[in-house]
Amino acid sequence: MKKLYWTISVGIWIVFLVSDSKGYVLSGKKWPSPSASFYVQVTNGPSGDWDTPFTNAMAKWSNNTIFKYSVAGSTSWDPCSNPNSSAKNGTKFSDTVCGNAWGATTLGTTISWNNSQKIYVQAGIVFNSKFTWGVYDGPWETASLVNVADFQRVALHELGHAIGLQHEDRVPAIMETAVTTGTTIIDPQPDDINGVEAIYGVSGTFSNTVFVPIVLSAAGLNNSFFTSELSVANRGSTNAKLDFEYTATFGQGSGTVTDSLPAGQQRIVKDAIAYLRLLGLSIPTSGSQGGTLRVNFSGLSDASDGAVSVRTTTIAPGGRAGLAYAGIPISQGLTTPAYISGLRQNSTDRSNIAVQNVGSSSDGDITLRVTVFSGDVTKPQVNQLPDIVLPPGGFQQISGILGSVSLVNGYVRVERISGTAPYFAYGVINDQANSDGSFVQPILDSSLTGKTGLTLPVVVETSAFSSEIVATNWSSSKKTLDCRFVAAGIQTADATAHFQISINPSEQLILPDFVQYLRTQTVPGIGPKGPAYVGSLFASVASGDLSGVSLAARTSTPGGGGRYGLFYSSVPNGSASTTTAWVYDLQQDAESRSNLAFVNTGEQDGSSSTFQIDLFDGDSGVQVGSFGITLGAGSWAQIGTVLAQYAPGTSQGYAHITLTAGNNPFIVYGVINDGDQPGARTGDGAFLASAP
């Protein structure tokens, strides 16, 4: 049961709540007190009507009345520019804020709405000539005003009739000491004040929508036939309802069907299309079928408790080969330009990209523009492809995108040029011989602004595996990366190899067998081939930032006449996990095994990090294993066949990773391999990124 707590300044209390499904906001409530008033400014709000309890009564606000907002966030309401605006019920907005909107008697609040999933709030108050402000980072978390000296009682207006919440009008004494502001703990009294019931917690269930860019059962090149394995997880404490909205891209059967998922459980279905058909969609049993999927979780104990991932594979000699990707929470849909790097078209590999409209049926069409850039600076080339119009849920793939413009090495930029719905885009690098795929995540054009460091989780040279490095620079200036490769096999005092990588403007370097490349460059510490080199690669810039730079790797092994492998990108400093993370879709059965890997990024200092790993059985939701691991700064470690080692008998599950000691951010990820043990089946791996 989720509990929410709020803090109070003299005469004012503030509550911020968001309903993911209905978009209601409760903000602000006056107490009998010295004169004070407040205003609310909303940006990036949803279209249509929504409710705000502005006074004791629920007041109805709608577009272009007291709150004026736009989905694009280009306009917002300023109470001083329109002080006489009124609600539909005739309630007047206070004129006292005008002329000095942050004046001595005014409480100001700004709410930024992020796709109905999360809000960020800044609240400010000047009282007795003392200004204080705080930030609420939602959803459904603690909201507080800091450094406020005086407090009164807490009261929460009943909102259950608006968003279906349950409330407690009397709570145990221990909850009465849980309302905090900064480090101050206050003891509210369970009284009724002016008819407002004094309560201290709210319990309820929440919803979240996850977008899956593609599920399919379809023929591919070179006699391949791809099917999608679907994993849905509910790590929370309440049973969830699942609504699957399928939009067919090829084939038929669009529609919505429903299932349920008990608390704590993870369900893995080997064929997503067959599963949707079983639930009631009219998807033909023959021919190629595929489309996008929106999974709406409702009844969750927390909005972040639901997760979706997909593994799409084809039969390969001795087993299967393919790739994995996570569903995207709607709030993480893309709205600004993104790049997809690492693409190539040659005798060993081919590359595709795909784009999707992540919006709902009410969001309308979007138009996307795809521009292809040559990564070879000796043969510069820029090709703008015809614009792509996508309806909600729409999908389009551009196969062999580099071959269509006669390039062998390149990257693409995707941008939304019309419409308001979010989008998604990804790349796939397929082996020409065995059709194994590597999933390439998009990188936001703005994501590296101000960043000066990157961590690439792992670089490998063993008897079976090797890593290629892809370094891309789409900026207009040359970038020089100062790099540190930290691995046990490196023959230096600190097991670290130091070197630089310089990337010209618009250049993309694809460096196969990277450790061998370092050897040919006579990098100190890299000895003759033989011992294993496995560790993380850290890159930084001495001046400026990493804007326009992508650093990624593809780690692979020979097989099926080509190579089986997986692709993953670096993590910018400041973006790694800091307290906890989850890894889903772990498997251990006759066909698959899963590994779990950890990196101590060393971003803060040289301290070690200690982690507690709890393993959960996906079929029962019960915790079935637990272990710990300690890593020095900059270190990497992997636990192979993690379920077999620490939760024997568990065929599928997920892991919760908690940092219990240490100051450094960390990266954790999973790899699901074809074969129940090393050397079995194809050995192909699929990368499983962690979730917060």
DSSP per residue over 272-328, as a string?
HHHHHHHHT----SSS-EEEEEEEEEEEESSGGGEEEEEEEEEEETTEEEEEEEE-E
* Nearest partner of 472 among 375, 538, 398, 393, judged by Cα: 375
* Nearest partner of 446 among 355, 364, 549, judged by Cα: 549
Residue 138 is predicted with a pLDDT of 29
Contact 665, 578 (CB under 8 A): yes
Picking from 55-59, 284-288, 437-441, which range would have the lowest pLDDT averaged per residue? Answer: 55-59
Q: Report d(CA 396, CA 369) in Å as an integer.
A: 12
- pLDDT tens digits, 541-550: 988 999 999 9
| Tokens representing residue 418 in the block | 């019309």
Rounded to two decimals, the pTM is 0.74
Checking if the pLDDT of 167 tops 80, the result is no
Q: What rounded mean pLDDT belongs to the chain? A: 76
* Nearest partner of 345 among 411, 399, 409, judged by Cα: 409
Q: How confident is the model at residue 203 (pLDDT cuts 50, 70, 90)?
A: very low
Picking from 9-13, 620-624, 637-641, which range would have the lowest pLDDT averaged per residue? Answer: 9-13
- pLDDT tens digits, 412-427: 999 999 999 999 999 9
Q: Report d(CA 581, CA 409) in Å as an integer.
A: 35
Give start and end residues of each alpha helix (H) in 167-288: 272-279
Residue 595 to residues 244, 312, 464, 628, 677: CA-CA distances in angstroms? Answer: 29, 18, 16, 15, 11
Residue 146 is predicted with a pLDDT of 24
* Nearest partner of 563 among 256, 300, 296, 347, judged by Cα: 347
- pLDDT tens digits, 15-29: 222 222 222 222 322
Q: Residue with structure tokens 């993309």?
A: 508
State the average pLDDT over residues 630-639. Answer: 98
Checking if the pLDDT of 99 tops 60, the result is no
| Tokens representing residue 16 in the block | 């911020």
Q: Report d(CA 358, CA 339) in Å as an integer.
A: 17
| Tokens representing residue 38 in the block | 């407040």
Q: What sign does the dihedral 441-442-445-446 (CA atoms) show?
A: negative
| Tokens representing residue 56 in the block | 């004791």
Cα-flanking dihedrals φ and ψ of residue 277, to 5°?
A: -65, -45
Which residues contact residue 246 at a Cβ distance below 8 angstroms, ignoring those fewer than 6 apart?
215, 253, 254, 255, 256, 257, 276, 281, 283, 291, 292, 293
Q: Report d(CA 166, CA 115) in Å as an integer.
A: 24
AA letter at 406:
S
Residue 205 is predicted with a pLDDT of 64
Which residues contact residue 90 at a Cβ distance below 8 angstroms, ignoring those fewer than 6 apart?
none
Q: Report d(CA 582, CA 102) in Å as an integer.
A: 42
| Tokens representing residue 244 in the block | 């699957």
